[in-house]
Structure 1
Amino acid sequence: MVKISEFAVEHWMDAYENDAKYNLAETCCASISLNDLLAFSGQQINIIDYNQKQVYGAIRGSKPLRTNIANLYNAEVPQPLVADNVLITNGAIQANFLALYTNVGPGDHVICHYPTYQQLYSVPEAFGAEVSLWRSKENAGWQLDLDDLKSLIKPNTKLIIINNPQNPTGAILERELLQGLVNIARQHDIMIHSDEVYRPLFHSVDSDQQEHPPSIVSFGYDNVIATGSMSKAFSLAGIRLGWIVSRRPDIIEACAACRHYTTISVSQLDDSVATLALSSPTVNNLMERNIQLARQNLSVLDAFISKFKWAIDWARPQAGTTAFVKFHNKDGAPIDDVVFCQRLLEKTGVMFAPGSHCFGGGVDFKGFVRIGYVQEHQVIVDGLQALSDFMVNEYEKVPAADA
């Protein structure tokens, strides 16, 4: 039996989110309904064809859907992607799992961006690979160092995994670093796997930057995989639809072959909803709504953190839906983030994800919590007000983290 570490953040969400009054651990942009989707499309159409027979449908995803996904990347690439470069999956979590299952095994060495979504390093470990963590630097806005990457490479390094935009910090990897990563990978013939599930929610990129950080598929290096989904930036977690993108036909074929053992196809209904959501002008209107919501809510969170700066440090996120925020006591020692999150939920109904438990294996990121801030605006306002009351009345009772 393959043994795999407990998926800490998903276990935490499963245990607590149904009891939360203000779920500020949620990482999806505020969800939309099918009526909302029609409004964004500007059309009066039937999303669901009630006469359609409910068969398996297109096994790899319908061609219109795969074409719409390919078009998400084509503004940045000299050679456009096409439908055959895309494989539809049951969410990005299956996309990542299939790509890792297909490309990693015993005897391989994997380098993984850290901190990040636990799946990206625990799954390769479960498949028998040795995993080295490429640690981003808190004091440099959670950026990565290419010299650190070079020092981690071994003769059997098979895969480098990144997450861009990044969960939980909201940091981005810019073009210069990505180009350096590609150059190093090309030199050593190493594959790059880029989880881009929060792309293209770039809401706070510096105004003097001329572009958003490009996808990993835009650098002319074919030995890459990008994964994404409808859940985070596109507000449609309920349809459970994601994808794998690669220029290499053999990668798509291998992932498709493995997928036959897990999900034969996604629902025709989900395929239809996603196809409309990623069509023009729907996708543009939806992203405009989510970027404006992210900016509005991030401004509220920024004001809250400024109010309690004696207890809170952070690197303001540039993209995505999450912030990684450090809470400390008046002496500067990090608090016990697990106790803090549990008491906060019990006293106020506000839910966070504790950083040391969910992202640091109980060792790293003590005092940190992940906050999801692209909720409905009133949820953020009311949740942070409840947190403010806790900060005044209960916060000093929270113990410091163990040294």
Structure 2
Amino acid sequence: MVKVEPFEVEQWMDRLETTPGVLNIAETCAASVSVDDLVRLCEDQDAPGPLSLSGKLTYGAIRGSETLRQRVASLFERASDAEPLPAENIIITQGAIAANFLTFYTLVGPGDHVICVYPTYQQLYSVPESLGAEVSLWKLKEEHGYVPDVSELEALAKDNTKMIVINNPNNPMGSTIPKAVLEKIVAFAKQRGIIILSDEVYSPLYHSLPAGQTAPPSVLALGYEKAVATGSMSKAFALAGIRTGWIASRDKSIIEAVAAARDYTTISVSQLDDQVASYALSEPVLRPLLGRNTALAQTNLALLSAFVEKHASVCSWVRPTAGTTVLLQFKKDGVVPVDDSSFVLDVLSKTKVLFMPASPCFGRGRDFEGFVRLGYVCETEVLVEALERLGRYLEEHLEASEGS
């Protein structure tokens, strides 16, 4: 029997996000849009609408429609001098979570060794473990801005290392792996024939990079055949409700192996979801949609930055550069890290503000004591109200002894 570890962040979300009256700043998607919103965003009002209601609802194109796969392929051309990715090198899946699972299910098993960045979405290390692989955690460090230190790979790698797993932008840190670091990871893997899986579900939401730093390309743009990229419409594109993601690789044998494994699971995605995703990635919609989400991220990050500065005596962070998530650490009187699980539940009980505890959801042992994950690219008015309530809580419960 396969041993499956509890998926902590999803279980915490499932239990708490339906709390009546909750102000949810635990959500990791850019504030969701409707189909009507997409139509309003479209810069070509003569363009065909997102849905054709006359087509028969068969299984549809098993690997995803040609239109959608071509439009996903075009996403990989950003900051790339590589040959365009053919549409046949993409498989459409039920979200990035299915894309990641299928990739592991197809490529990893007992006797294999996997290196995975940490912290990251628990799926990326718990699933290969459940499949019998040994997993080594490649720990990201604050002093490096939570960017992987490639010099550590030599000590982590083994003769049976099958895969290196990265997440760019990172969840929960909101950090970015720059192109130069990606190139070093690719060079290391290429020399040893190791597969790279890059979870790029928050790409291309690189909204707050330092001056002079450009958004990194996908790992698929760096000339290594044995690289796999996954992504979805959920995070940067604000369309989690259509449950549409993808697996992409320049190695056709990997794509064919994944397709064969997928025959035993979901077969195909919904034709309706495929159509909405295709519309969202069409030229007249994609630019304004990403513009809306980038502006929202920048506006809200400025608000969160002001909050952290105001409460710096009890709250600290490494400012994110991309994505929608960040870890904040809270300390009682600025000294003792809070018990983050109890802290989250107490804040929710007293203020109706919801975020996630990092220790159970993203840590092993005591790695992230006192840290919580916020999703700050929600509707701005939700973030404003949530931070006001959280600020009052901090003043009463964590900062209360100051000056006493």
TM-score, length basis structure 1: 0.96
Cα deviation 1:50-108 (Å, max 9, x = unaligned)? 21111111100000000000000123142111211110000000000000111100000
| Matches for 1:151-300 after TM superposition, within 5 Å | 151-209=155-213, 211-300=214-303
Q: Report what 2:375 is aligned to.
A: 372
State how far apart, in whole Å, the 1-side matches of 2:241 and 2:400 are.
39
| Residue 144 (structure 1) shift | 1.4
Q: Report what 2:66 is aligned to.
A: 63
Read off the aligned partner of 1:11 and give its amino acid letter.
Q
CA contact (8 A) 2:314 2:399 kept: no
| Residue 40 (structure 1) shift | 1.6
| 1:79 equivalenced with 2:80 (yes/no) | no
Read off the aligned partner of 2:25 and give its amino acid letter.
L
Instruction: Give the stretch that moved more between structures: 140-149 or 276-285.
Output: 140-149
- Specify the SS of the correspondent of 2:336: coil
Read off the aligned partner of 1:297 and give its amino acid letter.
N
Q: Percent identity?
A: 52
Instruction: Give the stretch that moved more between structures: 38-47 or 90-99.
Output: 38-47
Cα deviation 1:111-144 (Å, max 9, x = unaligned)? 0000000000000000000000000102221121
Match of 1:131 among 127, 131, 135: 135
State how far apart, in whole Å, the 2-side matches of 1:192 and 1:5 are.
23
CA contact (8 A) 1:196 1:227 kept: yes
State how far apart, in whole Å, the 2-side matches of 1:84 and 1:375 are.
35
| Residue 363 (structure 1) shift | 2.6
Q: Report what 1:5 is aligned to.
A: 5
CA contact (8 A) 2:140 2:148 kept: yes
CA contact (8 A) 1:107 1:156 kept: yes
Q: Report what 2:25 is aligned to.
A: 24
Unaligned runs of 5+ in 2: none
Cα deviation 1:302-321 (Å, max 9, x = unaligned)? 00000000001100000000
- Specify the SS of the correspondent of 1:313: strand
Cα deviation 1:198-255 (Å, max 9, x = unaligned)? 000010011212x211110011011100000000000000000000010011111111
Match of 1:97 among 91, 96, 101: 101
CA contact (8 A) 1:198 1:233 kept: yes
Q: Report what 1:401 is aligned to.
A: none
- Specify the SS of the correspondent of 1:133: strand
State how far apart, in whole Å, the 2-side matches of 1:92 and 1:308 are.
35
For the structure 1 residues 159 and 301, does the alpha-carbon distance in structure 2 shift closer, same or farther, using more than 3 Å as the test? same
Q: Report what 2:331 is aligned to.
A: 328
Cα deviation 1:262-317 (Å, max 9, x = unaligned)? 11111110000000000102111100000000000000000000000000110000
| Matches for 1:111-130 after TM superposition, within 5 Å | 111-130=115-134
What is the total number of aligned residue pairs between the two structures? 397
| 1:319 equivalenced with 2:345 (yes/no) | no
Read off the aligned partner of 1:386 and give its amino acid letter.
R
Instruction: Give the stretch that moved more between structures: 321-330 or 46-55.
Output: 46-55
CA RMSD of aligned residues (A): 1.3
Read off the aligned partner of 2:241 and give its amino acid letter.
G
- Specify the SS of the correspondent of 1:328: strand
State how far apart, in whole Å, the 1-side matches of 2:170 and 2:61 are.
32
- Specify the SS of the correspondent of 1:226: strand
CA contact (8 A) 1:25 1:352 kept: yes
CA contact (8 A) 1:41 1:276 kept: no
| Residue 161 (structure 1) shift | 0.2
| 1:146 equivalenced with 2:147 (yes/no) | no
CA contact (8 A) 2:200 2:229 kept: yes
| 1:37 equivalenced with 2:38 (yes/no) | yes
Instruction: Give the stretch that moved more between structures: 287-296 or 325-334.
Output: 325-334
Read off the aligned partner of 1:5 and give its amino acid letter.
E
State how far apart, in whole Å, the 1-side matches of 2:265 and 2:304 are.
40
Instruction: Give the stretch that moved more between structures: 246-255 or 71-80.
Output: 71-80
CA contact (8 A) 2:314 2:398 kept: no
State how far apart, in whole Å, the 1-side matches of 2:222 and 2:294 are.
26
For the structure 1 residues 257 and 310, does the alpha-carbon distance in structure 2 shift closer, same or farther, using more than 3 Å as the test? same
CA contact (8 A) 2:333 2:398 kept: no
CA contact (8 A) 2:358 2:373 kept: yes
CA contact (8 A) 2:49 2:279 kept: no
Instruction: Give the stretch that moved more between structures: 158-167 or 137-146.
Output: 137-146
| Residue 362 (structure 1) shift | 4.6
Cα deviation 1:119-172 (Å, max 9, x = unaligned)? 000000000000000001022211211111111000000000000000000001
Instruction: Give the stretch that moved more between structures: 77-86 or 347-356.
Output: 77-86
State how far apart, in whole Å, the 2-side matches of 1:269 and 1:143 are.
38
| Residue 331 (structure 1) shift | 5.0
Read off the aligned partner of 1:34 and give its amino acid letter.
V
- Specify the SS of the correspondent of 1:18: coil
- Specify the SS of the correspondent of 2:335: coil
CA contact (8 A) 2:62 2:267 kept: yes
State how far apart, in whole Å, the 1-side matches of 2:265 and 2:15 are.
26
State how far apart, in whole Å, the 2-side matches of 1:30 and 1:384 are.
17
Instruction: Give the stretch that moved more between structures: 16-25 or 117-126.
Output: 16-25
- Specify the SS of the correspondent of 2:173: coil
State how far apart, in whole Å, the 1-side matches of 2:360 and 2:113 are.
25
| Residue 397 (structure 1) shift | 8.4
Q: Detail structure 1 runs of 4+ shifted over 6 Å in the superposition.
A: none
CA contact (8 A) 2:26 2:355 kept: yes
Instruction: Give the stretch that moved more between structures: 42-51 or 98-107.
Output: 42-51
CA contact (8 A) 2:359 2:366 kept: yes
State how far apart, in whole Å, the 2-side matches of 1:193 and 1:140 are.
22
Unaligned runs of 5+ in 1: 399-403
